[in-house]
Structure 1
Amino acid sequence: MASKKDMRRPDLIIPYQEPAAKGETGDLQSTIASTLPMAAIFMRNRYVGWAAFVFSIQSWLGESEDSKKSSSTPGYFSVGMAFMSLIVTYLPIFLPPQPGYLRGSATDAPPPVPA
């Protein structure tokens, strides 16, 4: 049998170095503050709109200098979006939809005319 010889050389060993962090991986709070208003607009849900408004104010007031530098959008922008989501959810109260708007589409045949 061939003798098994260790071919590793101690002078070629490279010690392990932990890779450097690639900055902030993402701020979950700002992500939620920007997506909750969109969810409120799409669902027309007032509770989600209010939650988005409160959460965006909370994240705006809790911003640090580092998060301001690394953030792509300022905090007051998310507050503005949340406020717009509240306006959209309360808009049907002040401007109600026209009657028959949701019943049929514009391509439907007209109703029969009485004789």
Structure 2
Amino acid sequence: MDSTTKEKDMRQPDLIIPYQEPAAKGDNVEFQSTISSTLPMAAIFLRNKYIGWAAVVFSIQSWLGESEETKKSSSTPGYFNVGMSLVSLIVTYLPIFLPQPGAKQGSPTGVPAPLPA
């Protein structure tokens, strides 16, 4: 074999740059975990459906974005926050399916009852 028929190796060892893993951002993960655990509580206390849906979406997003480092450092797993947000959503919709006894059934904008003479 002739040296001209071999392919030349164009790689140069002095130009090789080793891979360095980027530093993790720890502050953003902690804030996301805090929000995904407090939004369901706010939805339960305020009985607000919009906050309940936001809690579900945000907790699913934070659960899917968990890394191995987050799993090691967090006190509760991501699926627990998703479960809590689903429970908060059920609590906000509960008065529709189980109305409270003694609650007025009339329209809040209706004509008031006549006063006794």
Would you say 1:67 and 2:70 are equivalent positions?
A: yes
Match for residue 87 of structure 1?
A: 90
Aligned pairs (5 A) from 1:10-25: none
How high is the sequence identity, in percent, across the aligned residues? 73
Off by >2 Å, runs of 4+ in structure 1: none
Match for residue 53 of structure 1?
A: 56
Between Structure 1 and Structure 2, how many residues are aligned?
A: 78
Task: Work out the CA distance in 2 between the residues paired with 1:97 and 1:55.
Answer: 30
Would you say 1:40 and 2:43 are equivalent positions?
A: yes
Q: Among residues 28, 32, 41, which one is paired with 1:29 in the alignment?
A: 32
Superposition TM-score, scaled by structure 1 size: 0.64
Q: Calculate the aligned-residue CA RMSD, in Å.
A: 1.6
The alpha-carbon deviation at position 100 of structure 1 amounts to 5.2
Task: Work out the CA distance in 1 between the residues paired with 2:52 and 2:85.
Answer: 7
1:27 aligns to what SS in structure 2?
helix
The alpha-carbon deviation at position 53 of structure 1 amounts to 0.3
1:76-113 deviation line (CA, Å, top 9, x unaligned): 00000000000000000000011159xxxxxxxxxxxx
